[in-house]
Structure 1
């Protein structure tokens, strides 16, 4: 039974993301500690921050880059996780964003550099050792990430593939019951 639910936001996002807030509203009906940390832009620092929040009864929910982090944590610590339109290889996608960046949700400027890309490569899970711990929620209309990469990578995991939608995961609320069921939130 889950007692701590950690929502992991995506790249240049925050605890104020729509899905984080909406899922938090649902979690108010459950006896759980719902956490949504504002993550550092440095991948290894973000992982350290997340690892410090883990308890033996933690479950994870991650979106986009947060899905990448949730996959890493799930497989390393054998924690159930739901990944929403996850980044499978963010080190490839973020190459085009090297240089000055601004996170409008956390209101700070930073430089994305090759050390961030290399750190993401270190966190990549080549083969899922515990696919039963992961649940993929994927919409084919994702305009940021190629949905086929996620469908293939998570092929041994439980999956909900929806045609259409976009990177934000349109009508995310419809998935609440299946997320709660998979993560065994009571």
Structure 2
């Protein structure tokens, strides 16, 4: 599993008390995605105290849930510092799913609120990651069922602490769904833009301050 750093190797050192930022990428994307790399570089230059971790997430919901769930359990058991999540598109769903289980703060960018709605459109196709990895995926109806079960596990009243970043020009997802789903949470909704969230670099410092206000 490719990562940007391996914070677990530091569990028993002073760095385990540093903030840990976990970035979760979108559907068929990877840790090499633009926003992930922008955030990683900014942290290296401006907040080297923050540990950065970006796992490669399977497009298969059950496998992704198992891997990400174990990842967070391990971090909660071994990492002594604060933990924050950043998720884009499908990664926004996974960030919410994890934040609700562990009551963590999360910044969600043009998130997929109900991924099971778009997944049927991918059934029966050979799916290749947008980022160029040499691998092919094929979703089955059971994957859609698994995603619906995961969606149902998120309560109607959110217990995490969220900041929604969305652009109305998103050509993939309707940001009005996200505005409604995260009602009562901090929201920044811009006119124009697109699904990639144009100008993401403007928010790197602010999102880190949101996740780790005391660090």
TM-score (norm 2): 0.81
- Tell me, in whole angstroms, the C-alpha distance in 1 between the residues paired with 2:130 and 2:204: 27
User: Within the alignment, does 1:19 sit opposite 2:35 as a pair?
Assistant: yes
Match of 2:138 among 104, 111, 114: 111
- Tell me, in whole angstroms, the C-alpha distance in 1 between the residues paired with 2:185 and 2:62: 26
Indicate the SS of the match to 1:81: strand
Unmatched segments (≥5 aa) in structure 1: none
**Is the Cα contact below 8 Å between 1:4 and 1:32 reproduced in 2?**
yes
Distance 1:2 1:50, change over 3 A: farther
What RMSD in Å do the two structures reach over aligned CA positions?
1.6
Partner of 1:130: 159
**Is the Cα contact below 8 Å between 1:2 and 1:183 reproduced in 2?**
no
Partner of 1:160: 188
- Tell me, in whole angstroms, the C-alpha distance in 1 between the residues paired with 2:158 and 2:189: 22
> Shift of residue 104 of structure 1?
4.0
- Tell me, in whole angstroms, the C-alpha distance in 2 between the residues paired with 1:162 and 1:129: 23
Please say which structure displays the higher CA radius of gyration: 2
Partner of 2:198: 170
- Tell me, in whole angstroms, the C-alpha distance in 2 between the residues paired with 1:179 and 1:46: 25
Indicate the SS of the match to 1:53: helix
> Shift of residue 2 of structure 1?
6.1
Partner of 2:53: 35
**Is the Cα contact below 8 Å between 2:19 and 2:212 reproduced in 1?**
no
TM-score (norm 1): 0.93
Unmatched segments (≥5 aa) in structure 2: 1-16, 77-81
**Structure with more strand by fraction:** 1
